[in-house]
Amino acid sequence: MAQSASSGHRASRSIPFTPGRGVTNRGTSAKEYDRYLRRLSAVQNSTRKVMQATDDLATPLAERTRDDAGASAADTTQDTLRSPSRSVRSMAPSKGVSESYLQEASFVANPLGGRVPTTTPRKSAKPRAYDQVTQTNLASTNEDAVHSSARVVPLDSVDAQLQDVLILEDLLYVLVGIEGNYIQFSPQYKPDDLGHRLNGATFMIDGALDPSLRQLTERILPLASYYTSIYAFAERESGLEYGTVMHALCAAIRAQLDAYEDLIAKMELRLLQSPDFTLQQLWLALHPTLRTFALIHSLTSEIASITHADVLPQFEDDDDDEVDSSDAGSEEYDSDASQLERDRRALLGLDDTLIDGIQGGIVKGGEVLSMLWDRLTRLGGDPDAHALYLELFREASQPYARILLRWITSGQLVDPYEEFMILEDTRVTQASLESDPTDEYWERRYQLRDERIFAQKEQESRDTPADVPDEPSGRGELTGGAKIPAFLEPWKHKILSAGKYLNAIRECGIDVSDDQSPRVQALFGSQDAHVAKYLVKDAEQERVLMDDAAFTVCLENAYQRANAALLRLLVEDKEIVQRLCSLKHYFFFSQTDFLQAFLDQSEHELRKSVDPQRIRETTLLRLQTHLDMVLNSSDTVGFHDPFREDLRVDLARERVYDQLQRIADTKGVIELAKLRERQQAERQHAGSRELAMYLLQFDVHVQFPVSLVISKKNILRWQFVHRCLLLLKLLERALSEVWEEQTMGLWRQRDRRPYAAGIERWQKRIHLLRQRMLLLVQQLLAFYTSEILEPNWHELERKLRAARSVDQFMKDHFDFLNLCRKECMLTDYRYLECLRKLMKTITAFTESRARFNEQCETLHRELDVWLATKDEPGAPPAPTLSLDNDLAAKIEASWTKQSRTFRDVVNLLSTTDNPAALPLAYRLQTLL
């Protein structure tokens, strides 16, 4: 009994197995199968044609086949068991049929690639919508089907031992995605649909299979589903638009698929060579691979659920699935055009917003590595899963690592698919530093993608009404290259800075990649050993381990090297500290001999009235000529300044306190409506003219890379303080000129004649008012320069000498300017409003000196006339100055009011927001 069972087992190897046949007893000729393949290819080219298949004629065709063969199914089985070498092929193939489609006793003799296409390898048991044909078409193929049909052994006609052999051979097809005779695709699975392939094939098993074998088969079948899903993922995600990181991941996945296919080939060999190979042994051999593919499938499914969200099938309720058979062809299958459109939108990432609850978009670059790293850290307690994800991560991270190495070692960003964490805006160039007040080159030429996205979302949240809810996101706020892997998150700013430093050096015409250049060696020194090791690996295409601790050392050393090189370039070659000292000399008037000479020479031009909105170039040219003459004179202190040629004369578009007050308005001190009203009023008075001296300011012209530190934005900050100091200098000069005039002529004579006491008192009031104004101006100048600017400048010098990075250098300079503005109270709207009115009053006084002189002469002349005619009858009373004509009284009243308000505001600020103003508050207590 045992012997007969063993012989039956061995004889089962010769049982005919024909891929592409259904489970039911129907026959299909080789010509029909050839026609099926041709039509299936036409389906891929959007010219689907129906194929010939039906279950109605399956039984008659099988009966006619048995009649022609002259034997029943049972006799055929007995003959097969008795003679393993007998062939079960019923007839020779029809003329013109390719030999690759011949039926073989074993599937080894007929290559799989010759039998099946890549997309839909085998026909399913049930007719599909595109398989339904008319009875007329079937009638023309019945004759060919009879002559070339082969038999499929029904499982209910053999014992369990033979079922083991048949289902085992069937599984070897199914495990590589080919439909078997007894295990077929389920009716709901569409092999030609991208979404179904990405989800994985689903199968149904012949109902006649032994329950124990069925249970074992059901354990193995998930591996076939995983294989079809992973294979479809690797095939689909290999397009250019998915990026190099995804390509590397797909290559690593294909390595796993190759190992799996090698294992299936070994199982096939054992099936052919070992008579004792059973389904249980196949399960034991494939069980470890099942765990591996389950882990890979969970990763690919997560990515596919995002990238191909719009093509994955959406399962609905059972009630919705009950449709008429007549509508099956139109409702169950998408047309070619709609399917192609869905694929196109999925590939191009056009479904990036929420549509019907689906969050789409292409997963690439840093987002892929983040998914792998998260799984790697989350499954650290599972050795097998950790080893698998570590291998996938290391393979997928190679393109990302090479982009990173090139960025931190040469400053070049080669990221055509936007996978890296750094974003380059090529529209911003170094020329923008000389004209753009927003510092776009350093801040926007290279940015972190995540910070830019957060900034955009913050701007959108400010522009969006508060009652509009935010749309949920299934992927989070960061996607693609903006998603930085967790292990690189602490290093992202150093990675950004390292590349920016090197790029700045490259913009100066220095090739940082040429290590043999004397210029490069002088700036950088010798290459770091850790960085050199990784550069060698990159050059030789060796694997770079980003999860290694040595890689973080490489990042740190590359950052320090680039930082030291740019800092050395700025400090030693470009003399940035000396340039800042030059700025202090010209902008903060540490030595003002040149200013007095310049004001004397250009007084005629500065007294001219100009339109701030339309300043003539000739005016600026004449002022610049006067400045150059003064600076090139050997009598000035700045004659030995090597950077004096960079100083420029400019005329602002508005007065200094109007400008500072407008800036304070935009910070929220004044309501937006009031700000708009003010701007509208300014537009209406845009035609008003101003004296050039009140619009005067200095500018400086610097070249790259000095413009990184002394940028247009920072020059504006220098000018904020500079214009205030310059206005005080101009007012001090004007008050001094008033004093000089009032020490000569009638102002100097003391009139002791009767009735001249009123004139004397009027002159003393003007003298006292002028002196109080002059003292206030001088106290403000002393406070700004001695109490604020000089101490902060010495602190800045100390910090600059101790700076170890370019960013720290720039930050110290930036903080110095902001601190000076704040401690000078030039950022407080209340202080600026009071100071503007006070300076306006002093300006009105200095500009009224001619009228004061006229009034003084008129009063003395009227007094002389009255004294000569006072004894005559009908003589008028003694002359006095009427209140309507007393300009000094009006200015004095305004001064008294504004000075007291100014004193109170300074006292308030010195005790609350700005303790640095305490010295000024003490002085004003005695002065005002």
- Tell me the per-residue pLDDT of 205-219, one tens digit each, with 9 for 90 and over: 999 999 999 999 999
User: Which residues, 6 or more positions from 660, have their beta carbon under 8 angstroms from its beta carbon?
Assistant: 720, 724, 826, 832
Same domain, 739 and 794: yes
Residue 369 to residue 399: CA distance in whole angstroms: 11
Residue 805 to residue 819: CA distance in whole angstroms: 21
Nearest to 193 by CA among 21, 39, 44: 44
Task: Kindly state the average pLDDT of the residues 11-36.
Answer: 41
Are residues 166 and 12 in contact, defined by beta-carbon separation less than 8 angstroms?
yes
Using the 3D structure, point to which of 153, 171, 190 is the last residue of a domain: 153
Are residues 639 and 646 in contact, defined by beta-carbon separation less than 8 angstroms?
no
Report pLDDT for 234: 94
* DSSP 8-state assignment for residue 149: -
Burial class (CB in 10 A: 0-12, 13-18, 19+), 353: exposed
Same domain, 416 and 385: no
Reading the block at residue 926, the tokens are 């005695």
Residue 323 lies in a domain: no
Its domain, for residue 441, covers 397-465+472-573
- Does residue 107 surpass a pLDDT of 50? no
- Does residue 373 surpass a pLDDT of 80? yes
Same domain, 875 and 897: yes
Same domain, 421 and 539: yes
Report pLDDT for 101: 36
Pairing of strands 647-651, 696-700: antiparallel
Of the candidate ranges 52-61, 299-308, 492-501, 684-693, the one whose mean pLDDT is the lowest: 52-61
Task: Kindly state the average pLDDT of the residues 71-92.
Answer: 35
Same domain, 645 and 749: no
Task: Kindly state the average pLDDT of the residues 261-269.
Answer: 95
Residue 330 lies in a domain: no
One-letter amino acid identity for 862?
E
Residue 642 to residue 167: CA distance in whole angstroms: 92
Torsion of CA 585, 591, 593, 598, to 10 degrees: 30
Residue 363 CA, distance from chain mean position: 14
Please list the alpha-helical segments (H only) found in 754-805. 757-782, 790-802
Which has more confidence, 738 or 330? Answer: 738
Reading the block at residue 208, the tokens are 């006649």
pLDDT in tens, 587-623: 999 888 889 899 999 989 999 888 888 888 888 999 9
One-letter amino acid identity for 826?
L
What mean pLDDT is reported for the chain? 76
Report pLDDT for 780: 94
Residue 123 lies in a domain: yes
483: three-class secondary structure by DSSP: coil
Same domain, 513 and 624: no
One-letter amino acid identity for 33?
Y
Beta bridge partners of 448: 422
pLDDT band at 882 (very low <50, low <70, confident <90, very high): low
CA dihedral over 709, 712, 713, 718, signed as positive or negative: positive
Report pLDDT for 89: 32
Task: Kindly state the average pLDDT of the residues 74-91.
Answer: 34
Residue 287 to residue 204: CA distance in whole angstroms: 21
Residue 333 to residue 341: CA distance in whole angstroms: 14
Which has more confidence, 813 or 475? Answer: 813
Are residues 249 and 368 in contact, defined by beta-carbon separation less than 8 angstroms?
yes
Are residues 392 and 372 in contact, defined by beta-carbon separation less than 8 angstroms?
yes
Which has more confidence, 682 or 275? Answer: 275
179: three-class secondary structure by DSSP: coil
Report pLDDT for 7: 33
Same domain, 20 and 81: yes
Torsion of CA 306, 391, 265, 153, to 10 degrees: -40
Reading the block at residue 689, the tokens are 């003219």
Report pLDDT for 485: 92
Same domain, 391 and 401: no
Residue 556 to residue 564: CA distance in whole angstroms: 12
Please list the alpha-helical segments (H only) found in 158-278. 160-174, 194-199, 211-236, 243-273
Using the 3D structure, point to which of 153, 187, 222 is the last residue of a domain: 153
Residue 776 lies in a domain: yes
Using the 3D structure, point to which of 347, 375, 396 is the last residue of a domain: 396
Residue 330 to residue 341: CA distance in whole angstroms: 17
Cα radius of gyration (the chain): 46
Same domain, 23 and 149: yes
pLDDT band at 333 (very low <50, low <70, confident <90, very high): very low
As for how many domains the chain has, the answer is: 5
Residue 420 to residue 495: CA distance in whole angstroms: 11
Reading the block at residue 150, the tokens are 């082969």
Residue 653 lies in a domain: yes
Residue 588 to residue 585: CA distance in whole angstroms: 6
Residue 394 to residue 387: CA distance in whole angstroms: 11
Same domain, 364 and 414: no
3-state secondary structure labels for all residues of 48-99: CCCCCCCCCCHHHHHHHHHHHHCCCHHHHHHHHHHCCCCCCCCCCCCCCCCH
- Does residue 684 surpass a pLDDT of 80? no
Query: How far, CA to CA in Å, does 352 sit from each of 160, 357, 540?
Result: 53, 11, 39
pLDDT in tens, 732-751: 999 999 998 888 877 777 76
- Does residue 77 surpass a pLDDT of 60? no
Residue 219 to residue 225: CA distance in whole angstroms: 11
Residue 273 to residue 440: CA distance in whole angstroms: 73
Reading the block at residue 765, the tokens are 């009031």
Report pLDDT for 319: 40
Pairing of strands 609-610, 690-691: antiparallel
- Does residue 349 surpass a pLDDT of 60? no
How many angstroms separate the most distant Cα atoms in the chain?
169
Nearest to 927 by CA among 772, 781, 768, 806: 772
Task: Kindly state the average pLDDT of the residues 678-700.
Answer: 74
Listing DSSP states for 523-541 in one string gives HH-SPPHHHHHHHHHHHTT
Residue 143 to residue 31: CA distance in whole angstroms: 11
Which has more confidence, 692 or 64? Answer: 692
Report pLDDT for 350: 45
Out of 21-30, 358-367, 391-400, the most confident range is 391-400
Residue 537 lies in a domain: yes
Number of H helices, E strands in the chain: 39, 8
Residue 733 to residue 741: CA distance in whole angstroms: 12
With a pLDDT cut of 70, the percent of the chain lying above it is 71
Same domain, 381 and 519: no
Q: Residues 99-102: contacts with CB within 8 Å, 24+ apart?
A: 101/30, 101/33, 101/34, 101/37, 102/30
3-state secondary structure labels for all residues of 698-731: EEECCCCCHHHCCCHHHHHHHHHHHHHHHHHHHH
* DSSP 8-state assignment for residue 459: H
The backbone torsions φ and ψ at residue 479, rounded to the nearest 5 degrees and listed phi first, read -135, 165
Task: Kindly state the average pLDDT of the residues 538-542.
Answer: 85
Residue 333 lies in a domain: no
Residue 246 lies in a domain: yes
Are residues 88 and 80 in contact, defined by beta-carbon separation less than 8 angstroms?
yes
One-letter amino acid identity for 78?
Q
With a pLDDT cut of 90, the percent of the chain lying above it is 40
Task: Kindly state the average pLDDT of the residues 741-763.
Answer: 77
Residue 223 to residue 291: CA distance in whole angstroms: 9
Residue 17 to residue 8: CA distance in whole angstroms: 17
Residue 694 to residue 228: CA distance in whole angstroms: 79
pLDDT in tens, 146-204: 333 345 788 888 888 889 999 999 999 999 999 999 999 999 999 888 889 999 999 99
Reading the block at residue 132, the tokens are 């339904």
Report pLDDT for 301: 94
Q: Which residues of 912-921 are buried (b: 16+ CB within 10 A; e: fewer)?
A: eebebbeebb
Task: Kindly state the average pLDDT of the residues 848-852.
Answer: 87
pLDDT in tens, 390-449: 999 999 999 999 999 999 998 889 999 999 999 988 777 766 655 555 556 677 788 899
Please list the alpha-helical segments (H only) found in 783-883. 790-802, 806-823, 829-847, 849-869
Reading the block at residue 580, the tokens are 């800042």
Q: Would you mind telling me the total number of residues written for the chain in this entry? A: 928
- Does residue 685 surpass a pLDDT of 60? no
Half-sphere exposure of residue 442, counting CA atoms within 13 Å on the CB side?
24
Same domain, 554 and 628: no
Residue 770 to residue 772: CA distance in whole angstroms: 6
Task: Kindly state the average pLDDT of the residues 29-51.
Answer: 48
